[in-house]
Amino acid sequence: MSHQVVPVKVYAAIFGALLALTATTVAVSKLELGEYNFIVAMTIAVIKGTLVVMFFMDVRRASSMTKLFIGAGFFWLAILLVFLLSDYLSRGWLLNIHWL
Amino acid sequence: MADSEAILAPQEPELRHHFDDSAQQLEASTLGMWVFLVTEVMFFGGMFGAYIVYRNMYPEAFASTSHFMNVTIGAINTGVLIFSSFTMVLAVRSAQLRQKKALIAFLILTLILGCVFLSLKYVEYHEKWVDHHIPGPGFQYADPRYFHQAQILFYLYFAMTGMHAIHMIVGAGLLITLIVMAARNRFSSGWYTPVEMIGLYWHFVDIVWIFLFPLLYLIGHTQ
């Protein structure tokens, strides 16, 4: 783990980017984009979250072991959400199959 | 490695005997903190999962409730929380450079911003209370079609933002502890692991809000 001190302007740039993305997500939410509202809002949230994890939490300089643990954590979260939705979103689909 | 030893003092009294050096000790702390944060990801993940399921079940009811969310306060609070993450990271930086005054100043600033967030949260909750939007026997809703479904969504709103607010209160307590430790020169030797670990926690709570804000306040607003 290297612990060189990061210049303030790097943190300030990330801070500015996070504020700009917040303003963007609020502005986009006022537009009628149908289902793209959800996609845009979540994409911006993921970008913001990644910036915080990589720069403020300094994961970009963390050890491979720490990165593996974090990756495993989010992979398990993905399992939770994907399997949950594969159940709820597909309910009732079989009712439309008449040859069964 | 060579860089880390330049900043972490080699003579530090905080180095435990079962670690080779302070870099390894810090790495162990970081890994342990992340294991805890991963359990927190799973904990909030369960609530996000419940939210997604109900949002898919009752999209019309959800769209009608989103008009009662205070987007202005939500957006201001997002900015406040991002600002507090910025001051937290500057506090960690001051600890690395052993600037005691700057460390205490940034920790206090982070604490104040956390309190601003909680105060605005109180204003929002009070608004919901006045409007009878708290799920339960006193619940009232403008659109009778969604009387029951809206309660589920307000319940999720209070569960998720409430759990987030509890994490903020815990974080405020941890910050006070850090301020006291810093004032007592606990970090003067160059050992600042608690500052860095509580920093990770504070940023994690920020990330939870980064996802809560669009999901609860923004989506469905135009429908």
Q: What is the pLDDT of residues B117-129, one digit of tens each?
A: 999 999 999 999 9
pTM for the complete prediction? Answer: 0.91
Q: What's the angle, vertex CA A21, arms to CA B170 and CA A66, rounded to 5?
A: 50
Q: What is the mean pLDDT of residues A53-61?
A: 94
Of B26, B34, B88, the CB nearest to A1: B26
Q: For residues B202 and B4, what is the distance between their CA atoms, to the nearest angstrom?
A: 23
Residue range B53-111, pLDDT digits in tens: 999 899 888 888 888 899 999 999 999 999 999 999 999 999 999 999 999 999 999 99
For every residue of chain A, which 3-state class applies, written as one string? CCCCCCCHHHHHHHHHHHHHHHHHHHHHHCCCCCCHHHHHHHHHHHHHHHHHHHHHCCHHHCCHHHHHHHHHHHHHHHHHHHHHHHHHCCCCHHHHCCCC
Gap from B221 CA to chain A (nearest CA, Å): 7
**Residue A1, pLDDT above cutoff 50:** no
Pairwise pLDDT comparison (A58 vs B14), residue with the higher score: A58
Question: What is the CATH topology of the domain spanning B20-218?
Answer: Four Helix Bundle (Hemerythrin (Met), subunit A) (1.20.120)
Of A22, A31, A41, the CB nearest to B78: A22
Q: What residues of B are in contact with residue A57 (Cβ under 8 Å)?
A: 199-200, 203-204
Q: How high is the ipTM of this complex?
A: 0.90
**Residue B137, pLDDT above cutoff 60:** yes
